[in-house]
Amino acid sequence: MNSAQWFERAQKVIPGGVNSPVRAFNGVGGTPVYFKSGKGAKVQTEDGTELIDFCGSWGPLILGHARGEVVEAVSKAAADGLSFGANTAAEAEFAELLTSLVPEMEMVRLVSSGTEAVMTAVRLARGYTGRRKIIKFDGCYHGHSDYLLVASGSGLLTGGISSSAGVSPAATEEVFVAPYNDLGAVQEILKANGDEIAAVIVEPIAGNMGLVEPEPGFLEGLRAATAEAGSLLIFDEVINGFRLAPTTFGHTVGIEADITTLGKIIGGGMPIGAIGGSTKIMSTLAPLGPVYQAGTLSGNPVAVAAGMKTLELLRDESPYLKMEILGKRLADGVNRIAAEKGLDLHCAQRGGMFTPFFRKAAVRNLDDSKACDQKAHAAYFHHMLDHGFYTPPSGFEVAFVSAAHTEEHIDRFITELEKI
Ligand code: PLP
């Protein structure tokens, strides 16, 4: 059976044939690819093809697919028991490692996904401050909990409007939405509503409208404005964390969030999420404090083993410079082709993260990202897929160069792109 046949079969029993919507290829058209196995930078498909993978399971696979040491750690943990719902030494060690690598997190609580981490972070911020409202940024994705599924509100000073059916307006009325990189908008909201705002939540480097970097002063300004208003600053580092260094982005740039959320890389491909912050704030969580959070599989030993080994390898091998060099090689190649051929295209890149934006002008927020040519992105996606490369099947995502990629993979990508 090939991908098309599997997809037809799956659609009868799974809504849309997928367990997460973007996998349906709605953004690029065509039939989704079914993956069979992966090793290093490559995956094998049910169509008998081999692809060089620049999606990396949407970010967790910074060491590439099925890295030997990680698989070994997982196998060992699994053989010792898949879940206990009780305490293990490994989860204490993992929390020690996380808090040592991210010093602003004096304490950390493990959950099973990024969504869950953010959900808990927001509840914690509300419980800690005794305030109800939050500010998020248009184009930043923080998982699929009700109050964070908010598109741009009609005005900055009104509550947001949900981008999903089934979300109670009551949930999103308490969420203000500001354009990314617009510190003035946040200051305005805080000026009018400061004593009601529990938290401002942001992806320090945005990855869910394509790769959009914070402009100089933006994150520093958020830090200062929230501190002044008595609101908490939440850095959602589910994508950013451990991506550019063996720590958070916030720690790297010396801007300390009150609460940090992590996911993806820290589970090395297994389901995990984490919320961390100062002992004072984290002590608001049950059983120490009144903010409830729990999970049957929280701190799951197999996920912890995968995460632990992944972070140890990142700490010890530090593949970050290599990923930066490869990422730059790729972006330079894309930008050279765009210039030579006069294409409306430029490639944003930071470390191993990159997004080819199909417009010439820089992208600094969601409106800019939406102004890109999505048809051109779809044509690029399918051209690359047909020639052996898997990139995120959406123009609003970030792609990843992993530690398992090589110069040869990058150069092949560029050679293929040149034929577009
Ligand atoms: N936060 C950010 C910044 C994300 O990119 C994502 C997922 O892509 C999430 C939270 C949600 O994480 P998960 O998909 O593990 O629930």
Measured in angstroms, how far is the CA atom of residue 117 from the centroid of ligand 1?
A: 9
Choose the catalytic residue: 128, 141, 180, 380: 141
- Edge-first strand listing for the sheet containing 42-45: 35-39, 42-45, 50-53, 389-390
From CA 416, how far away is CA 330, in angstroms rounded?
12
Assess if residue 29 is contained within a domain: yes
Contacts of 100 (CB under 8 A, 6+ apart): none
CATH of the domain at 160: 3.40.640.10
Contacts of 323 (CB under 8 A, 6+ apart): 62, 351, 352, 401, 402, 403, 405
Q: What Rg value do the Cα atoms of the chain yield, rounded?
A: 21
Residues 303 and 264 occupy one common structural domain: yes
Assess if residue 282 is contained within a domain: yes
Residues 386 and 265 occupy one common structural domain: no
CATH of the domain at 392: 3.90.1150.10
Measured in angstroms, how far is the CA atom of residue 239 from the centroid of ligand 1?
A: 7
Choose the catalytic residue: 42, 136, 264, 309: 264
Q: How many residues does the chain have?
A: 420
Assess if residue 88 is contained within a domain: yes
Q: What is the pLDDT of residue 156?
A: 42
Q: Which amino acid is at 311?
A: L
Q: What is the pLDDT of residue 154?
A: 34
Residues 247 and 114 occupy one common structural domain: yes
Q: Which amino acid is at 144?
A: H
Q: Which amino acid is at 339?
A: A
Residue with tokens 């529990």: 198
* Cis amide linkage into residue 287, ω under 30° from 0: yes
Assess if residue 386 is contained within a domain: yes
Q: pTM to 2 decimals?
A: 0.97
Q: What is the pLDDT of residue 153?
A: 34
From CA 299, how far away is CA 305, in angstroms rounded?
10
Residues 178 and 263 occupy one common structural domain: yes
With the most atoms of ligand 1 within 8 angstroms of its CB, the residue from 110, 120, 122, 141 to mutate is 141
| Active-site annotation holds for 53 | no
Measured in angstroms, how far is the CA atom of residue 412 from the centroid of ligand 1?
A: 30
Residues 264 and 283 occupy one common structural domain: yes
Could you list the residue range(s) of the whole structural domain that residue 215 is in?
68-316
Assess if residue 62 is contained within a domain: no
Residues 220 and 260 occupy one common structural domain: yes
- Using 70 as the pLDDT threshold, list the residues of the chain that sit under it: 151-161
Choose the catalytic residue: 53, 138, 182, 236: 236
Residues 156 and 298 occupy one common structural domain: yes
Residues 298 and 188 occupy one common structural domain: yes
Q: What is the pLDDT of residue 147?
A: 78
| Active-site annotation holds for 344 | no
Q: What is the pLDDT of residue 149?
A: 79
Half-sphere exposure of 242 (CA within 13 A, CB side): 33
Residues 81 and 28 occupy one common structural domain: no
Measured in angstroms, how far is the CA atom of residue 416 from the centroid of ligand 1?
A: 31
Tens-place pLDDT, residues 229-251:
999 999 999 999 999 999 999 99
Number of domains in the chain: 2
Contacts of 348 (CB under 8 A, 6+ apart): 210, 211, 212, 213, 331, 354, 355, 357, 362, 363
Q: Which of 270, 297, 316 is the last residue of a domain?
A: 316
Q: Which of 268, 289, 316 is the last residue of a domain?
A: 316
Q: Which of 316, 333, 357 is the last residue of a domain?
A: 316
| Active-site annotation holds for 264 | yes
Assess if residue 227 is contained within a domain: yes
Residues 48 and 95 occupy one common structural domain: no
- Edge-first strand listing for the sheet containing 353-357: 346-350, 353-357, 399-400
ipTM value greater than 0.95:
yes
Q: Which protein residues touch ligand 1 with a CB less than 6 Å away?
A: 58, 113-115, 118, 141-143, 203, 207-208, 236, 238-239, 263
Assess if residue 59 is contained within a domain: no
Q: Give the position, in ligand 1's atom list, of the atom nearest the Cα of 114.
A: 12
